C-alpha cells in the first residue's frame, strides 16, 4: 500500500503542500513538503479586502508548481483547504474559479471552527497527551481546541491575530493598548478552554519553542512534543515582547518572523497568564496533518484506535526485516520478563508499553545497514518515533534498542541525555529485559525454548534447546544490576 | 525481489553464517551475520588430524542454530563451504555425513586455490581498485589472488598460517626462525603476484588496520576500503611483532586475537617487504562475499558489468522515493551542468561519476525521514555506499547530498574530513552542480524546462516555466565560487 495523499494549506502568508504516504490503514509518514510565500492578501487591506491581481497570479503559479510535484509523486487524492486568507475576500469565488480552471485544484474555504477542529485532531492524535487545549495563533485569528483521549470536545475561534495587532498597534508600539484589546477578545472564550497544559501550534509558537530549546541546551533537536515549564520561562517570554529586532535575531529568531513574532508572543502571554498555564507542549503538527487525519480517520471516529501508535505502525510497515512471528515472539518474551521482574524490581507499569515498542523495533536498524545496526536503530527511532510519544519515552526506546546487544548502556550516553531519563536503576532493569530478549532471540526461532523464574534475587533462565543454549552462553555477559543464571535443561547437559 | 541466500563459512576457528538479500539482479546487501567459535580442530593436532567428538558436537549445534535462523529468514539457497579446517581431517567424511543427516546442510570442502579465488572475486568486485593482489592470512594457509578490472587472473595458496607458525616457533619466541621459514615458503610464490598495492583480507589484517586507523584519528569508522601507506606505518607494524600482550591490548587488539596476531603480522610484514608494497587497502569482504558473488555472477563472467556499482544499485532498489523518471532527469541535468562547467572550471573528469551518484541519491534521505532528509541522506550514504568506491569518493557523495539544499558546505564539516577531500574550489564547484540540480528539480517535473550557458565567467540559467521560475527564484541563494544568473524566458516575464 503506497497511496499518497496531498494536502494543500492555503494560508494568508504561505501556501503549503504536504504529501502523506500511507503504509497501512493507520501507518503513514510525510514524504514531501513545499512552501511558497504567496502573501495572497497583499494590497487587499487597502482595497476593501479584494484580492489583487499580482498575488493571485503568484498563487496560481505556486499551485501549478505543486501540481507538477503531485503528478511526479503520483498523488491519488488532493485535499486543498484555504483558511482566513480567502474567508473574507469579496472576490474569493472569482479566484477559486480561476484555481479550478487554470490549475485543476478545488480549494475549499473553511471557517475558524473547522480550522480549530483540524488543529485539535492533529494534536490530539499525534501528541502523547491525554488531555489538553491547543492554541494556534495565526495572522487574522486564533483557534482553540479542547481534547481528551484523542477526541476533540470543543473548539473556538477568536478574531485575534498577529497581523491584525500589528496593523492596529505597531505604529505607536502601543503594547499596553494591545493587551487591553487581547483581554477584551479573550473574555469571549468559554471557561472550559482554561486548562493548565497548553498545546502550541503554528509558526509563532514553534519559533518561540525553538529559542527556548536552544537556551536550555536541550539534548534532542525535535520540536514536536517538546515541553517546557511556563513559570520557568515566563520572564524570558516577557522579555521577547520588548526586544528589538537585533536582539531577536541574536537569540535565533529568523528574519522573516521579525515583523509579527512580538505580537504573537504577546497574545500567547496573555492567554498563558489567563489560563494559569503550567506547561507548554509544542506541536509540530497542525492544520495540515489535521486535514489528512480527518480523512483517514473518518470511519474510526476521527481518532486512532486505543494503543495504536501511528509512528510504530509506520516504522514496522517500512522497516521490519524478519519474520512477523519472530517479532511477536520477541514481544512475548519481553512481556513475560517484564511481568516476572516488575514486582521484584518495582518497575512502574507504564514502562511495559516502552518494552513493547523496544522489542518490536529491536531489529529495524538492519534496514539502514546490518553493520552497526543497533546504532542505526537508534538513529531511525530518534528520527521516526515521533508521534504519540513523549521525547523521554522515544529516547528511552531508542537507547534500549541501541544497547540491546551490549551488557550495559554507555555512561557518556546516559550523561548526555540525563535530564530526559528515569533513574539509572530503572534504565538498567529495562535494559536487562531487552538485552535478555535479544539474547534469547539468537536463533530467531518463533517459539519459546526457555522459561524464566525469579528466585532469591536472581533471574533463572532455563533453556531447553541445545543449539540455543550454546549460542546464548557464548554471547552472554553478566549485567550490573540483575543477577542471571543460565541453566541448560536437556539431556547430556549436566 | 527479496531472495535471501545463506552463506556458511566453516573455518578452523569459527563457523559463520551470512545472509545476503538480493534486491535486484546485481543489487544486494547483508541482512544478518552470526558467528560461533567452534574451534573444530581442537585436539586434532595431537591425534593425527582426526576431528574430535566434542568440537564436532559443538559444530553440529552451531549449524543447527544457523538452520533455525535461516528458517526464520526464509532462506532460499544455502551455500556452505569448509576450508582448511576440514581439508586434511582423515575423518572429514564422517563429519560431513553427520552434518548432512543431523542438520540437513551440505558442507562442501574447497581447496586453497578455490579459497583464494573466492577472496579475489570479492575484493575485485567490491573494492574500487582496478588492479591488485589480495592476501588472506589464515590459520593454516595464506591465499593470494591477482585481479585486474574485476577479474581474477591467477591465484596461489601457501602452507603458511598463523596457527602453524605458533605451533612451530612460539615456545622459544623464535621470530628469526619464523622469518626464515616464511621466506622459504614465499620463494614458491610466482613473481606475478608481486604488486605494490596489497589488498588485505581476513581477521588478522583487519585487526591491524583498525589499530592503524585509530592511531591516525581517521575520520570515518568504516574498515572496508581503508587505505594506508605501508612505508609510513612500517615501523609501527614491526613494533607489533615484538609487543607484549598487555601492549597489544593497550593499542586496541582484542583479547581473542592475542595468541596469533603477532604471527599474522609477521607473515604480512615479510610479504610486504618482499613485494615492496606502497599501499595497503583493507578489504572488509572475503571468502563469504566471494561465495555469494561466485553464485550471482555465474552468468556474467564472475564480475559485475562495467559501471555497475552494487551499493548504488542496492540503495536505489530499496530507498528510491520518487518517480524513476525524475531521478533520470536529475542525472541528466547534473551531467549537462558538469559538461558545460568542466572545461571552464578545470574539473577532473573522474568527478563526473560522483556527480552521477550524487544526483541519483539526492532524495534517498527521505526514506529515513523527510525532516532533515539531507542529513539522513548523508547518514544512509556513509553507511551504505560502501562497495566499489573509495572512502574519499563515498564521503564526497554523502557531503554533496547533505548540502544539496544549502548554498554552501559548512566549514566545520570540511574541516572534519579535510584529509579525505579534494581542494575547496573543486568541492565548491561540484557542490554548485548538485545545488543547482536540486534547485531546478523543485517542481519534480521529469523534463527540462531550462537551458544552461556559461558566458563571461557566469552560468546563465534560462527558465522556460513560470511556476518553476517562481519556485527557483524564491529558494535561490548566491554561491561563493560560481556566479549564476537566473533568466525568465516566457511571456510577461520582462
B314-360 pLDDT, tens digit each: 999 998 876 788 899 999 999 999 999 999 999 999 999 999 999 99
The SS3 call for residue B449 is: coil
The closest alpha carbon to B21, from B39, B2, B34, B46, belongs to B2
pLDDT for residue A189 = 96
CATH number for the domain spanning B30: value is 3.30.420.40
| Alpha carbon of B245: minimum distance to chain A alpha carbons (Å) | 23
By Cβ distance, the residue of A321, A370, A384 closest to B33 is: A370
> What band does B2 get if pLDDT is binned at 50, 70 and 90?
low
A270 vs A278: CA distance, rounded Å: 14
Size of the A and B interface in Cβ pairs below 8 Å: 126
By Cβ distance, the residue of B65, B318, B323 closest to A72 is: B323
Together in a domain, A55 and A182: no
Q: Do A471 and B36 touch (CB under 8 A)?
A: yes
Three cell numbers, residue A348: 512502574
Together in a domain, B152 and B56: no
- Contact by Cβ (8 Å): B135, B147: no
Three cell numbers, residue A208: 518561540
A363 vs A106: CA distance, rounded Å: 44
Together in a domain, B175 and B85: no
| Alpha carbon of A114: minimum distance to chain B alpha carbons (Å) | 27
**CB neighbours of B59 closer than 8 A, spacing ≥ 6?**
B10, B15, B38, B40, B95, B99
B268 vs A186: CA distance, rounded Å: 80
Together in a domain, A381 and A467: yes
| Alpha carbon of A349: minimum distance to chain B alpha carbons (Å) | 31
Element (H, E) at A97: helix A92-98
Q: What would you measure as the largest C-alpha separation in chain B, in angstroms?
A: 93
B485 vs B460: CA distance, rounded Å: 5
By Cβ distance, the residue of B61, B68, B372 closest to A444 is: B68
Q: Do B470 and A321 touch (CB under 8 A)?
A: no
Grid look-up 527558465 returns: B463
DSSP B130-171: SEEEEEEE-SS-EEEEEEETTEEEEEEEES--HHHHHHHHTT
B160 vs B269: CA distance, rounded Å: 13
**CB neighbours of A399 closer than 8 A, spacing ≥ 6?**
A378, A409, A413, A417, A421, A427, A431
User: What is residue B246's DSSP assignment?
Assistant: H
- Contact by Cβ (8 Å): A115, A157: yes
Between B43 and A186, name the one with better pLDDT.
Answer: A186
A163 vs A45: CA distance, rounded Å: 11
Does residue A382 fall inside a structural domain?
yes
Chain A interface, best mutation among B444, B447, B465, by max A CB count within 10 A: B444
The SS3 call for residue B5 is: strand
The closest alpha carbon to A282, from A208, A224, A341, belongs to A224
A51 vs B321: CA distance, rounded Å: 38
The closest alpha carbon to A142, from A160, A163, A154, belongs to A160
Per-residue pLDDT, averaged over B447-455, amounts to 94
* Nearest chain A residue (CA) to B324: A72
Q: Which residues of A touch B376 (CB under 8 A)?
A: 383
User: What is residue B248's DSSP assignment?
Assistant: H
Chain B interface, best mutation among A72, A220, A377, A493, by max B CB count within 10 A: A72
**CB neighbours of A225 closer than 8 A, spacing ≥ 6?**
A127, A128, A281, A282, A283, A284, A386, A389, A390, A391
Q: At what angle do helices B310-319 and B351-361 cross, to 10 degrees?
A: 20
Last residue of a domain, one of B65, B85, B109: B109
Q: How many domains does chain B have?
A: 3
**CB neighbours of B397 closer than 8 A, spacing ≥ 6?**
B354, B357, B358, B361, B381, B385, B389
pLDDT for residue A87 = 87
**pLDDT tens profile B58-100:** 999 999 999 999 999 999 999 999 988 898 899 999 999 999 9
**pLDDT tens profile B192-225:** 999 999 999 999 999 999 999 999 999 999 999 9
Together in a domain, B13 and B124: no
pLDDT for residue B371 = 93
Burial letters for B339-373: b for 16+ Cβ neighbours within 10 Å, e otherwise?
eebbeebebeeebbebbbbbbbbbbbbbbbbbbbb
> What band does B1 get if pLDDT is binned at 50, 70 and 90?
very low
Per-residue pLDDT, averaged over B234-260, amounts to 94
Q: Note down the domain range covering A353.
A: 310-488
Q: Do B58 and A470 touch (CB under 8 A)?
A: yes
| Alpha carbon of B301: minimum distance to chain A alpha carbons (Å) | 28
* Nearest chain B residue (CA) to A15: B471
Q: Do A61 and B383 touch (CB under 8 A)?
A: no
B381 vs B363: CA distance, rounded Å: 11
Q: Which residues of A touch B383 (CB under 8 A)?
A: 368-369, 371-372, 376
By Cβ distance, the residue of B72, B372, B474 closest to A37 is: B474
Q: Which residues of B touch A442 (CB under 8 A)?
A: 34, 65
Residue B447 above 90 pLDDT? no
- Contact by Cβ (8 Å): A493, A470: no
Grid look-up 514531501 returns: A32
CATH number for the domain spanning B426: value is 1.10.3210.10
* Nearest chain B residue (CA) to A67: B443
By Cβ distance, the residue of A68, A221, A321 closest to B444 is: A68
- Contact by Cβ (8 Å): B395, B425: no
Q: Do B31 and A370 touch (CB under 8 A)?
A: yes
By Cβ distance, the residue of B33, B367, B470 closest to A65 is: B470
Together in a domain, A318 and A415: yes
Does residue B295 fall inside a structural domain?
no
Three cell numbers, residue A105: 485544484
Does residue A127 fall inside a structural domain?
yes
* Nearest chain A residue (CA) to B372: A383
Helices H / strands E in chain B, number of each: 19, 14
| Alpha carbon of A53: minimum distance to chain B alpha carbons (Å) | 14
What value, to the nearest 5°, has the Cα angle with vertex B289 and ends B287 and B295?
Answer: 100
Q: Do B384 and A370 touch (CB under 8 A)?
A: no
- Contact by Cβ (8 Å): A311, A360: no
By Cβ distance, the residue of B71, B369, B471 closest to A384 is: B369
Last residue of a domain, one of B109, B137, B158: B109
The closest alpha carbon to A204, from A165, A167, A153, belongs to A165
A40 vs B169: CA distance, rounded Å: 85
Which residues, in sequence order, are bridge partners of residue B30?
B20
By Cβ distance, the residue of B36, B72, B443 closest to A326 is: B72
- Contact by Cβ (8 Å): A244, A187: no
Q: Do B369 and A383 touch (CB under 8 A)?
A: yes
**pLDDT tens profile B148-180:** 999 999 999 998 988 889 888 988 889 999 999
| Alpha carbon of B35: minimum distance to chain A alpha carbons (Å) | 9
Q: Which residues of B touch A36 (CB under 8 A)?
A: 470-471, 474
**CB neighbours of B380 closer than 8 A, spacing ≥ 6?**
A368, B315, B319, B361, B364, B365, B367, B368
B148 vs B131: CA distance, rounded Å: 4
Give me the sign of the Cα torsion angle A369, A374, A375, A378: positive
Q: How far is CA A354 from its chain centroid?
A: 17
Three cell numbers, residue B468: 518553476
Last residue of a domain, one of A42, A77, A109: A109
Ramachandran angles phi, psi of A155, nearest 5°: -135, 160
Q: Which residues of B touch A221 (CB under 8 A)?
A: 372
Q: Which residues of B touch A73 (CB under 8 A)?
A: 322-323, 444
Give me the sign of the Cα torsion angle B317, B321, B323, B328: negative
Q: At what angle do helices A373-384 and A351-361 cross, to 10 degrees?
A: 120
Does residue A386 fall inside a structural domain?
yes
Q: Do B470 and A443 touch (CB under 8 A)?
A: no
Together in a domain, A464 and A345: yes
Q: Work out whether strand B142-148 and strand B151-158 pair parallel, antiparallel, or are unpaired.
A: antiparallel
Together in a domain, B319 and B468: yes
Does residue A302 fall inside a structural domain?
no
pLDDT for residue A2 = 64
**pLDDT tens profile B120-145:** 999 999 999 999 999 999 888 899 99
CATH number for the domain spanning A168: value is 3.30.420.150
Q: Do B443 and A468 touch (CB under 8 A)?
A: no
Together in a domain, A94 and A151: no
Chain A interface, best mutation among B65, B105, B446, by max A CB count within 10 A: B65
The closest alpha carbon to A220, from A87, A419, A32, belongs to A419
Q: Which residues of A touch B323 (CB under 8 A)?
A: 72-74
By Cβ distance, the residue of A68, A369, A444 closest to B72 is: A444
Would you put residue A202 in left (φ > 0), alpha (ψ -120 to 50) or beta?
Answer: left
B233 vs B228: CA distance, rounded Å: 8
Measured CA distances, B112 to A173, A420, B269 (Å): 86, 56, 21
Q: Do B383 and A369 touch (CB under 8 A)?
A: yes
CA dihedral B236, B239, B245, B248 (to 10 degrees): 0
B63 vs A195: CA distance, rounded Å: 62
Grid look-up 501556501 returns: A15
* Nearest chain A residue (CA) to B466: A61
Does residue A297 fall inside a structural domain?
no
Together in a domain, A174 and A258: yes
Q: Do B69 and A321 touch (CB under 8 A)?
A: no
Does residue A163 fall inside a structural domain?
yes
Does residue A296 fall inside a structural domain?
no
Together in a domain, B142 and B279: yes
Q: Which residues of A touch B30 (CB under 8 A)?
A: 370-371
Q: Which residues of A touch B285 (CB under 8 A)?
A: none
Where chain A has pLDDT below 50, the residues are: 1
| Alpha carbon of A66: minimum distance to chain B alpha carbons (Å) | 7
Q: Which residues of B touch A369 (CB under 8 A)?
A: 29, 383-384
Together in a domain, A340 and A368: yes
By Cβ distance, the residue of B33, B36, B326 closest to A72 is: B326
* Nearest chain B residue (CA) to A445: B68
Measured CA distances, B477 to A65, B407, B411 (Å): 20, 6, 17
Ramachandran angles phi, psi of A94, nearest 5°: -60, -45
- Contact by Cβ (8 Å): B365, B375: yes
- Contact by Cβ (8 Å): A209, A280: yes
A69 vs A16: CA distance, rounded Å: 12
By Cβ distance, the residue of A62, A73, A467 closest to B68 is: A467
Amino acid at each position: 500500500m503506497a497511496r499518497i495523499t496531498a494536502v494543500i494549506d492555503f494560508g494568508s502568508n504561505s501556501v503549503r503542500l504536504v504529501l502523506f504516504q500511507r503504509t497501512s490503514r493507520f501507518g503513514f509518514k510525510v514524504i514531501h513538503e513545499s512552501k511558497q510565500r504567496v502573501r495572497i492578501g497583499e494590497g487587499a487591506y487597502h482595497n476593501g479586502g479584494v484580492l489583487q491581481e499580482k498575488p493571485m497570479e503568484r498563487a496560481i503559479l505556486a499551485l501549478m508548481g505543486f501540481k507538477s510535484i503531485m503528478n511526479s509523486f503520483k498523488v491519488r487524492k488532493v485535499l486543498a483547504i484555504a483558511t482566513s486568507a480567502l474567508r473574507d475576500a469579496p472576490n474569493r469565488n472569482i479566484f477559486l474559479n480561476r484555481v479550478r480552471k487554470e490549475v485543476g485544484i478545488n480549494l475549499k474555504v473553511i471557517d475558524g471552527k473547522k480550522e480549530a477542529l483540524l488543529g485539535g485532531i492533529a494534536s490530539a492524535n499525534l501528541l502523547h497527551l491525554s488531555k489538553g487545549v491547543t492554541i494556534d495563533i495565526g495572522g487574522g485569528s486564533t483557534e482553540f481546541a479542547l481534547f481528551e483521549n484523542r477526541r476533540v470536545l470543543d473548539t473556538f475561534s477568536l478574531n485575534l491575530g498577529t497581523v491584525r495587532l500589528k496593523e492596529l498597534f505597531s505604529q505607536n508600539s502601543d503594547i499596553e493598548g494591545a493587551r487591553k484589546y487581547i483581554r477584551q477578545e479573550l473574555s469571549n472564550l468559554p471557561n472550559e478552554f482554561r486548562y493548565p497544559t497548553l498545546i502550541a501550534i503554528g509558526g509563532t509558537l514553534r519559533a518561540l519553542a525553538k529559542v527556548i530549546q536552544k537556551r536550555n541546551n536541550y539534548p534532542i533537536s525535535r520540536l514536536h512534543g517538546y515541553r517546557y515549564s511556563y513559570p520557568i520561562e515566563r520572564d524570558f517570554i516577557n522579555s521577547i515582547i520588548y526586544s528589538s529586532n537585533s536582539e531577536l535575531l541574536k537569540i535565533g529568531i529568523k528574519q522573516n518572523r521579525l515583523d509579527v513574532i512580538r505580537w504573537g508572543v504577546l497574545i500567547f502571554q496573555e492567554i498563558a497568564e489567563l489560563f494559569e498555564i503550567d506547561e507548554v507542549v509544542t506541536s509540530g503538527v497542525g492544520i495540515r496533518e489535521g486535514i489528512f487525519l480527518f480523512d483517514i480517520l473518518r470511519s474510526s471516529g476521527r481518532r486512532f484506535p486505543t494503543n495504536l501508535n501511528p509512528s510504530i505502525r509506520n516504522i514496522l510497515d517500512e522497516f521490519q526485516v524478519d519474520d512477523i512471528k519472530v517479532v511477536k515472539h520477541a514481544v512475548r518474551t519481553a512481556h513475560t520478563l517484564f511481568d516476572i521482574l516488575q514486582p521484584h524490581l518495582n518497575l512502574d507499569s507504564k514502562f511495559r508499553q516502552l518494552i513493547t515498542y523496544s522489542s518490536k523495533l529491536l531489529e529495524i536498524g538492519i534496514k539502514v545497514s546490518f553493520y552497526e545496526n543497533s546504532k542505526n536503530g537508534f538513529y531511525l527511532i530518534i528520527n521516526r518515533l515521533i508521534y504519540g510519544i513523549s521525547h523521554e519515552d522515544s529516547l528511552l526506546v531508542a537507547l534500549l534498542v541501541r544497547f540491546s546487544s551490549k551488557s550495559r548502556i554507555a555512561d557518556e550516553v546516559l550523561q548526555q541525555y540525563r535530564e530526559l531519563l528515569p533513574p539509572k536503576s530503572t534504565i538498567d532493569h529495562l535494559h536487562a529485559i531487552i538485552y535478555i530478549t535479544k539474547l534469547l532471540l539468537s536463533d530467531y526461532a518463533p517459539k519459546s525454548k526457555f522459561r524464566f523464574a525469579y528466585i532469591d534475587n536472581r533471574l533463572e533462565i532455563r533453556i531447553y534447546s541445545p543449539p540455543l543454549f550454546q549460542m546464548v552462553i557464548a554471547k552472554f555477559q553478566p549485567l550490573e544490576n540483575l543477577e542471571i543464571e543460565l541453566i541448560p535443561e536437556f539431556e547430556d547437559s549436566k
